């Protein structure tokens, strides 16, 4: 179940971030593209996981947390090093996407080694025609949903720029806060629901997997479209807080014991401090 949370569910919940950053890159808004990706990675741990644990403490398997957490931290360190010159180039984007392929390959390989729990419990469908209709309906709804997210992303990018000019703050800050929180709502609903229902592995797996995808998939594809400039704020504030929260997330979830409320409060508190410093230093 943990592997499912870190791959399939995370891809679906990260799709809004991908659309927003990809379209922002196409529309020449690098601040929005970068801010949405990094802001979502920070929000996933500080806000989503932090408040979810405050609602209900949970237990996560140690080995799986370490494996997925290692990928997350490696992705965070990689993008920090690649952006040290103030830009994510086409080559940097290609390297991030190569990392994405490695991550997906590893996740699929791990999933294949797990016993199939549903193979003997899945009822056979008597009507092939009914099954075909269900598949067609699912594909149709998926396409409509994807189109809606794409159109919504265009409007979101355009209005983020308008709000930034109206408030007199950089687009990057709007993307790191309002935009990233908005695009992270699917992760919030998924993780909180899973944790409340007692599926801690799925909840944490969704957060770790979403952070990996926010960096490798979202930033990789966006910088492949057009090189992305990395502002000084991202280098001195956003990246350090992102890596700090990633490290604490792995530390708290890899003990093999319960993730307690005080640990959730710590993650949320660091996220709040990050927001305060951002608005104090860069607005």
Q: What is the pLDDT of residues 133-154, one digit of tens each?
A: 666 676 677 677 666 665 665 6
- The pLDDT of residue 235 is above 70: yes
Domain that includes residue 238, residue range: 2-112+137-282
In a domain, 129, yes or no: no
The torsion angle over the Cα atoms of residues 265, 271, 273 and 278, rounded to 10 degrees, is -170
Angle between helices 128-167 and 30-43 in degrees, nearest 10: 110
Q: How far apart, in whole angstroms, are the C-alpha atoms of residue 111 and residue 230?
A: 36
What count of Cα atoms within 13 Å lies in the side-chain half-sphere of residue 76? 28
Q: How far apart, in whole angstroms, are the C-alpha atoms of residue 187 and residue 40?
A: 10
Summarize pLDDT for 8-51 with one digit per residue, the tens.
777 877 888 898 899 899 989 999 999 999 999 999 999 999 99
In a domain, 118, yes or no: no
Can you give the pTM of this predicted structure?
A: 0.85
CATH of the domain at 71: 1.20.1420.30
Total domains in the chain come to 1
Question: Among 75, 25, 87, 32, which residue's Cα sits nearest to residue 232?
Answer: 87
Alpha helices in the chain (DSSP H): 2-6, 8-26, 30-43, 50-55, 62-82, 90-113, 128-167, 171-174, 180-183, 185-196, 200-213, 220-225, 232-233, 239-253, 261-282
In a domain, 127, yes or no: no
- Return phi, psi of residue 258, to 5°: -70, 140
In a domain, 80, yes or no: yes
Provide the pLDDT confidence category of residue 122 given band limits of 50, 70 and 90. very low
Rg (CA), the chain: 19
Question: Among 6, 106, 117, 103, which residue's Cα sits nearest to residue 60?
Answer: 6
In a domain, 76, yes or no: yes
């Amino acid at each position: 179940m943990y592997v499912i949370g870190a791959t399939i569910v995370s891809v679906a919940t990260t799709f809004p971030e991908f659309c927003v950053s990809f379209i922002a890159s196409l529309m020449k808004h690098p601040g929005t593209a970068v801010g949405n990706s990094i802001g979502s990675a920070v929000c996933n741990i500080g806000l989503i996981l932090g408040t979810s644990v405050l609602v209900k403490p949970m237990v996560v398997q140690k080995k799986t947390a370490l494996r997925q957490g290692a990928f997350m931290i490696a992705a965070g360190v990689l993008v920090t090093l690649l952006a040290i010159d103030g830009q994510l180039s086409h080559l940097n984007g290609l390297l991030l996407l190569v990392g994405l392929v490695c991550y997906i390959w590893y996740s699929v390989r791990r999933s294949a080694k797990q016993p199939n729990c549903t193979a003997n419990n899945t009822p056979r469908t008597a009507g092939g025609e009914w099954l075909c209709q269900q598949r067609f309906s699912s594909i149709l709804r998926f396409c409509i949903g994807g189109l809606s997210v794409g159109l919504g992303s265009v409007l979101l990018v355009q209005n983020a720029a308008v709000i930034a000019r109206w408030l007199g703050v950089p687009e990057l800050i709007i993307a790191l806060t309002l935009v990233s929180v908005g695009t992270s709502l699917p992760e919030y609903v998924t993780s909180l629901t899973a944790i409340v229902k007692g599926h801690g592995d799925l909840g944490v797996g969704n957060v770790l997997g979403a952070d990996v995808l926010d960096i490798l998939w979202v930033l990789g594809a966006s910088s492949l479209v057009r090189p992305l400039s990395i502002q000084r704020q991202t280098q001195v504030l956003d990246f350090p807080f992102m890596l700090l929260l990633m490290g604490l997330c792995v530390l708290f979830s890899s003990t093999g014991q319960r993730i307690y409320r005080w640990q959730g409060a710590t993650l949320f508190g660091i996220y709040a401090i990050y927001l305060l410093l951002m608005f104090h230093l860069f607005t």
